[in-house]
Amino acid sequence: MKAISKISLATLLCAIILFTTTQLVLADLQNTTYNSPFLPLNIPRANIGLTPLFSPDHSTKEETELVMSAKKTIDIAIPGFDSWSGCTYPKDGCMGCSATDLLNNEKFPIFQVLINQIVQHGVKVRLLTNKYDDKMCSGKMDLLTYLKIAGADVRYYTTTTFLHAKYITIDGCKSAISSINFSQTSFRRNREAGILVNECNNAAGVVKFSQGVFEYDFFHGVPLDVDYSQYSKSDIHMIQTSTATVTIPENMHFANCDASSGDIQEFNDNYNISISASPDYAYGFLMSALNQVKKSLKISIYEISHPDLCDYVIQLGNKGINLKIFASHYVFAKSEALEAYQCYRKLVDNNINVVLSAKQCLEFSHEKYWVIDDNILMMSTGNWRGSDYPNPPYVFPPKKGNSSTWRNVNRDFTLRIDGQTAILKKFLAVLDNDYQQGYPYSPSTSTSPIKQSINIRNY
Ligand SMILES: *[C@@H]1O[C@H](CO)[C@@H](O)[C@H](O)[C@H]1NC(C)=O
Ligand SMILES: *[C@@H]1O[C@H](CO)[C@@H](O)[C@H](O)[C@H]1NC(C)=O
Ligand SMILES: *[C@@H]1O[C@H](CO)[C@@H](O)[C@H](O)[C@H]1NC(C)=O
């Protein structure tokens, strides 16, 4: 007995050490105060197309084909740009793969499409992402380095602490705004949600807004620095001339649940649509919608950990508002998980049910959307968390040299679509399907939201 428990303790310790040492460390590059120049925008009768995007069953194909359809430009803002084949996963203190391996064996189809778009079609590709302090193994590279050598303009985000938006725009007129990170988990093992805004036939202004934010952040970005002396002339020549084979994988099968989101299509309508950027005024944008709740609020979200938003939900409950709250059973970062569970406990103490996603199904329920009075759909790249919806004042000093006034805030987007639209009904149907399969949160049964999982760090 004793020997066994010693062994399992040792295994656990190893697991913990492995777990902590393989965490990516974020480099916070913000060095000036951010004064939130982007006021929310409302466009009353936008004649545009909106396509709902959902993981795990649609996003891989939809986003890959979106990038494939670009004729002139591809702009991507994304928290991380993960390999699906282990090339960005540090082992023995460093990471990376050879250029040949990346070209021939990388499984992330958007990477392969980007190579072809740059090398074969001369499409201008701009990539904005967070900088992590990972060490590259000598002579090896990651996907971003490969794409930079191929000809992409790759920069690191500096506007605030963290770029949390998941954003792809092609030809300046079609934008995918979603919760879908560039990791295999996000595309294939999570519930994720997004909206593809098509303004290619009528520039209504949503894409102009989001592109304005992208341009601002890209302009302030720091270029990825490639040490060309690490790589052979033949590798560089290969990267700049070779095309790749794109393979979109079959969807994964989930034996223990119904993880599907049904059919999707583009819905064309005259939308009363609004958009806001975080951290700029997003909290006010959200609150002004929540202040309109008269009958019901339905939320499907990764986490609620913003104390004020949590309290506001309790107030709504006390007023007799019909509440339906669905959240992820598993939240990756421990501190975030504990804060979310604190909120859920408070809700339950106030007789508000919280339903968590089925454990035997998807990895994370990473979507972020909510519906007010069955009449207003809101979808975000951010969670109900202080970093995504920071309270006023909307002035954000950097951590550098000023840590007492610093707030850890993210770049995010939130969309709001008023009216009983077909896209609202689609989101509600997915919420209902997920909700029915979930289980009620209870402080006594769920002691810890943290799963023993060492290999997954993509959320
Ligand atoms: C902030 O960082 C950028 C990029 O590293 C640099 O060009 C700029 O001079 C810095 N600004 C300040 C105020 O330190
Ligand atoms: C459109 O939505 C905005 C809020 O985003 C609201 O103030 C306005 O009244 C709505 N207009 C119509 C015509 O529904
Ligand atoms: C540091 O914080 C103070 C107080 O909020 C502010 O006045 C000042 O502008 C900040 N400095 C920078 C570099 O952001």
Mutate to test the pocket of ligand 3, among 33, 400, 404 (most ligand atoms within 8 A of CB): 33
Same domain for 27 and 125: yes
What number of other Cβ atoms are within 10 A of residue 40's Cβ? 18
Gap from CA of 339 to ligand 2 centroid (Å): 34
d(CA 110, CA 103): 12
Same domain for 212 and 65: yes
Task: Evaluate whether residue 458 is within a structural domain.
Answer: no
Q: Is the pLDDT of residue 180 over 70?
A: yes
Which residue, 241, 258, 292, sits at the end of a domain?
A: 241
Q: Is the pLDDT of residue 330 over 60?
A: yes
Q: How many domains does the chain have?
A: 2
Task: Evaluate whether residue 420 is within a structural domain.
Answer: yes
Q: What confidence tens digit (pLDDT) does each residue in 219-263 have? A: 999 999 999 999 999 999 999 999 999 999 999 999 999 999 999
Structural domain boundaries, residue 153: 3-241
SS (H, E, C) the chain: CHHHHHHHHHHHHHHHHHHHHCCCCEECCCCCCECCCCCCEEEEEEEEEEEEEEECCCHHHHHHHHHHCCCCEEEEEECCECCCCCCCCCECCEECECHHHHHHHCCCHHHHHHHHHHHCCCCEEEEEECEECCCECCCCECHHHHHHHHCCEEEECCCCCEECCEEEEECCCEEEEECCCECHHHHHCCEEEEEEEECCCCCCCHHHHHHHHHHHHHHCCEECCCCHHHCCHHHHHHHHHCCCCCCCCCCCCCCCCCCCCCCCCCEEEEEEEEEEEECCCHHHHHHHHHCCCCCEEEEEECCECCHHHHHHHHHHHHCCCEEEEEECCCCCCHHHHHHHHHHHHHHHHCCCCCEECCCCCCCCECCEEEEECCCEEEEECCCECCCCCCCCCCCECCCCCCCCCCCCCEEEEEEEEECCCHHHHHHHHHHHHHHHHCEECCCCCCCCCCCCCCCCCCC
418 close to ligand 2 (CB < 6 Angstrom): yes
pLDDT at res. 456 = 37
Q: How many CA atoms lie within 13 A of 30 on its CB side?
A: 24
199 close to ligand 2 (CB < 6 Angstrom): no
Same domain for 340 and 226: no
The domain that holds 338 is classified in CATH as 3.30.870.10
Which residue, 224, 241, 258, sits at the end of a domain?
A: 241
Gap from CA of 44 to ligand 2 centroid (Å): 6
Q: Is the pLDDT of residue 18 over 50?
A: no
Same domain for 289 and 185: no
Same domain for 316 and 212: no
Q: Is the pLDDT of residue 12 over 60?
A: no
Gap from CA of 99 to ligand 3 centroid (Å): 44
pLDDT at res. 23 = 52
Gap from CA of 252 to ligand 3 centroid (Å): 49
Same domain for 308 and 164: no
Q: What is the mean pLDDT of residues 185-198?
A: 98
Gap from CA of 31 to ligand 1 centroid (Å): 6
Same domain for 237 and 359: no
Label residue 445 by pLDDT band (50, 70, 90): low
Q: What is the mean pLDDT of residues 33-61?
A: 98
Same domain for 77 and 146: yes
Mutate to test the pocket of ligand 2, among 206, 209, 269, 272 (most ligand atoms within 8 A of CB): 272
pLDDT at res. 401 = 80
Q: What is the mean pLDDT of residues 346-350?
A: 97
CB under 6 Å to ligand 3: residues? 33, 397-398, 402, 405
Label residue 7 by pLDDT band (50, 70, 90): very low
Q: What is the mean pLDDT of the chain?
A: 92
Which residue, 192, 224, 241, sits at the end of a domain?
A: 241
pLDDT at res. 446 = 53
Task: Evaluate whether residue 16 is within a structural domain.
Answer: yes
Q: Which residue has better confidence, 22 or 315?
A: 315
Among 7-21, 80-94, 441-455, the range with the most confident prediction by mean pLDDT is 80-94
Task: Evaluate whether residue 291 is within a structural domain.
Answer: yes
Mutate to test the pocket of ligand 3, among 402, 406, 407, 409 (most ligand atoms within 8 A of CB): 402
User: pTM score, two decimals?
Assistant: 0.92
Q: What confidence tens digit (pLDDT) does each residue in 373-420 have? A: 999 999 999 999 999 999 999 999 999 887 789 999 999 999 999 999
Same domain for 287 and 427: yes
Q: What is the mean pLDDT of residues 314-343?
A: 96
